[in-house]
Chains A and B, each alone.
Chain A
Amino acid sequence: MNSDGENVRRIHTTLSFALAGLTLAALSLAARTAVPASAPQAAQKPCGTVTVAAAADLTYAINEIAANFEKATGCSVRASTGSSGNFLSQIENGAPFDVFFSADIEYPRKLEAEGLAVPGSTYLYAVGKIVLWVRNDSRLDIHKGFAALRDTSVQKVAIANPQHAPYGRAAEEALRRAGVYDAVKDRFVLGENISQAAQFVESGNADAGILALSLVLSPGLKEEGRYWKIPEDLYTPIQQGAVVVRASQNPQGARAFLEYMKTPATAALLEGYGFALPGKGKP
């Protein structure tokens, strides 16, 4: 008759099961990671581990760059990719990153101004471009450009969230300048970052997307669809900046990684992903 007590007891059993499960999981994880951490090979690495936060448009490129860097220097890299805005908030609140590759150079500048990044370390590493992208099975003629979006078969158009994603802002600006913004705005779906916007189109749930050229050229999407380059006079260049985080536990490694970004090999790799490089003629 005491349903209160009964409920409480049930919740207790559920909780203790959950706790037991968590403890087991944590223990097995600890057991697995403990071995390599104590291995002597750590001494061979002159600069230890560099922890990198990279904008979502670098999702594929950063792994290649990191692998090359590891080979060249013997350092190891731990890269996280995601929304630049999210990383900014996290670094402002003490996230343990060494280097931050933002899709918007304003974020590193802001960190510098707040005293959270190494003064003078902000570096323009690339300029991003946006494209209109559809899947191969789409019947849209995207060579008509934005006019293709007026087609009534286009129910959803994926862009990154303009509130905090630089690629989303560029997409919105380009649509406005091309005079199609009002025709499209009610069909927007917003990705949390440009990678998610790409995923919305790639999975077929959105009919078209305004995406980063770097993602469209990546192995995951290259064969999946076709793109139309959005004229660069329609949007403010997406200047991407990197910076060394002030609280970095490994400033030496961070600097080394940032320097490695400037090498010709890395520059060529970035160009292969469709980025324009600063100081290399007209971006």
Chain B
Amino acid sequence: MNWQAIALSLKLAASVAGILLLVGMPIAYWVTFSRWRWKFLIEAVVALPLVLPPTVLGYYVLVGLGPRTFPGRLWQSWFGHTLPFTFGGLLIASVLYSLPFAVQPFSAGFETVDRGLIEASWTLGASRLGTFFRVILPLSAAGAITGTVLSFAHTIGEFGVVLMVGGNIPGVTRTVSIDIYDQVQAANYGAANRTAVLLLLFSFLVLSVIYGANRRALSLWRKR
């Protein structure tokens, strides 16, 4: 069992989920409450990763941001290296790739909040930020939890982008999905099987716990 790869995947997924909680919330808030007529364009951009194959993102990160293009050279001069083959590169690619898995549930959660309650909070003198944290977020917690869990889970399951831009460096970019692929290629079916079963059980467990908890939280709130 390649614990190093498992630990790396967990670290990557947790970082992605954390970043998307911070970045995805404002985007989701804006997408939900904005009345801008071109809003649908932003919504389409956010949803792009649902449609695009990972190879498209992989291609842009590898070649579009490679040292042969202007943005790539700019990045190189700031950070001393290019995006591919680094943990940071994987992190950026994964955040982009999991964006809709966070933003859409967040936004769906916000939409369920009664506008009357939000406006009441404003008229009672609460700031927008205060209203968000004390009214909107508690009432849409299920969406927040779902979005965070989905982005975590989606990152654990990511494969194509990592295969294209990771370079398979142990402890840096060799995630658990890549490790399984390597084991299958090397015909180490035993090792592949052990990791695959572990991943299967882990994913099922995480999702069950979250969906279970989500349901309980909701029913508790309804009883109140």
Residues of chain A whose beta carbon lies under 8 Å from any beta carbon of chain B? 1-4, 6-7, 10, 14, 83, 85-86, 88-89, 92, 155-156, 158, 161, 163-164, 188-192, 199-200, 203-206
Contact = CB atoms under 8 A, between A and B. Distances in A.
Interface string B81-109: 11011000000000000000000110011
B99 to A, nearest CB: 15
Which 10 A-B residue pairs are closest in the complex by CB-CB distance? A189-B167, A85-B185, A190-B168, A204-B67, A164-B186, A3-B112, A164-B185, A205-B84, A203-B66, A204-B68
A85 B186 contact: yes
Interface in B179-206: 181-182, 184-187
B32 to A, nearest CB: 12
Contact of A1 (B85, B114, B185): B114
A10 B163 CA distance: 31
A163 B72 CA distance: 31
B169 interface: yes
Q: In terms of DSSP, what is the predominant structure of the interface of chain B?
A: helix
B62 A203 contact: yes
A205 B67 contact: yes
Given A1-B222, A89-B185, 18 more contacts: A1-B112, A2-B112, A3-B218, A4-B142, A7-B105, A7-B142, A7-B146, A88-B187, A156-B167, A163-B182, A163-B185, A164-B187, A192-B163, A200-B167, A203-B62, A203-B68, A204-B67, A206-B85
Contacts of A4: 142, 214-215, 218
Given A85-B185, A205-B67, A190 B169 contact: yes
Given A7-B108, A161-B168, A190-B167, A205 B187 contact: no
B190 to A, nearest CB: 13
Interface residues of B, number: 36
Given A7-B108, A156-B85, A204 B167 contact: no
A164 B108 CA distance: 45
B24 interface: no
A161 B163 CA distance: 12
A14 B104 CA distance: 11
A42 B94 CA distance: 47
A188 B82 CA distance: 15
Nearest to A85: B185
B66 A205 contact: yes
Contacts, number: 89
Nearest to B64: A203
24 contacts: A1-B112, A3-B108, A3-B112, A4-B214, A6-B108, A6-B111, A7-B108, A7-B146, A10-B108, A85-B186, A88-B185, A89-B187, A155-B81, A158-B167, A164-B185, A164-B186, A190-B168, A190-B169, A200-B84, A204-B66, A204-B67, A204-B68, A204-B72, A205-B84
Contacts of A204: 66-68, 72, 82
B209 interface: no
Contacts of B67: 204-205
Residue among A4, A156, A204, A205 with the most chain B CB within 10 A?
A205
A155 B62 CA distance: 16
B44 to A, nearest CB: 13
A7 B210 CA distance: 14
A161 B72 CA distance: 26
A3 B109 contact: yes
A247 B82 CA distance: 46
Contact of A3 (B50, B66, B82, B143): B143
Nearest to A88: B187
Interface in B31-84: 50, 62-63, 66-68, 72, 81-82, 84
Contacts of A161: 168, 182, 185
Contacts of B155: none
Contacts of B185: 83, 85-86, 88-89, 161, 163-164, 192
B148 interface: no
Contacts of A14: 50
Contacts of B81: 155
B104 A189 contact: no
B185 to A, nearest CB: 4
B108 to A, nearest CB: 5
B186 A7 contact: no
Contacts of B105: 7
Contacts of B151: none
Contacts of A88: 185, 187
Contact of A10 (B50, B63, B104, B168): B104
